[in-house]
């Protein structure tokens, strides 16, 4: 299971994504000072493990960081991931409009968020050429069925569209 925690620090939020089974930890910042771009995008990624931090287990690390008030608020991981992907797509659109390169965004979507090269190319094309944001979600219906679909919209727009439980995949 992956747990995500957010802790605000002035114009930034520190995020910690912790895999409670493998002990992998991703620490990064989210820009809260959207004065220039208007976008709360993630940056400055650092990957480590709970073991490298000197803990016997991820559970021990989480307990100690909570005790020291260094974790912040736990948030829904799939929704947070979708929000961060959305922010990176909006940053790609902003950069393209300003004539800047977006290669590092493509790299982050593939290597940090685990999207395929094909899907990354597709969603970057949609946002930069057609101003369409796309995400993949799993929908759980009331009668016990589930299906996966790709849909246009921001995570907030998508969540408001479904009465059923949804899980963001990308």
Q: Residue 34 — pLDDT band, cuts 50, 70, 90? A: low
Contact predicate 102/96, CB 8 Å: yes
Domain ranges of the chain: 1-75, 76-170
pLDDT tens track for 48-91: 999 999 999 999 999 999 999 999 999 999 999 999 999 999 99
Residue 4 structure tokens: 């995500």
List the end-to-end C-alpha distance of the chain, in Å, as a whole number.
17
Measure the CA–CA gap between 30 and 87, rounded to whole angstroms: 10
- Cα dist. 76→4, 80, 103, 127, 166 in Å? 7, 6, 28, 25, 12
Give the global pTM: 0.91
């Amino acid at each position: 299971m992956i747990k995500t925690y957010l802790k605000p620090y002035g114009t930034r939020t520190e995020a910690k994504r912790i895999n409670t089974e493998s002990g992998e930890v991703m620490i990064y910042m989210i820009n809260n000072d959207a004065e220039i771009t208007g976008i709360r995008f993630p940056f400055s990624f650092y990957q480590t493990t709970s073991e490298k931090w000197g803990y016997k287990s991820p559970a021990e690390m989480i307990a100690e960081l909570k005790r020291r008030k260094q974790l912040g608020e736990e948030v829904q991981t799939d929704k947070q991931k979708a929000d961060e992907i959305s922010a990176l797509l909006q940053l790609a659109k902003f950069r393209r409009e300003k004539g800047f390169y977006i290669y590092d965004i493509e790299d982050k979507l593939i290597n940090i968020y685990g999207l395929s090269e094909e899907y990354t190319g597709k969603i970057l094309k949609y946002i930069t050429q057609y101003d369409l944001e796309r995400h993949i979600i799993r929908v759980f219906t009331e009668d016990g069925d589930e299906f996966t679909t790709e849909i246009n919209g921001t995570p907030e727009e998508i969540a408001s569209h479904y009465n059923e439980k949804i899980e963001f995949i990308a």
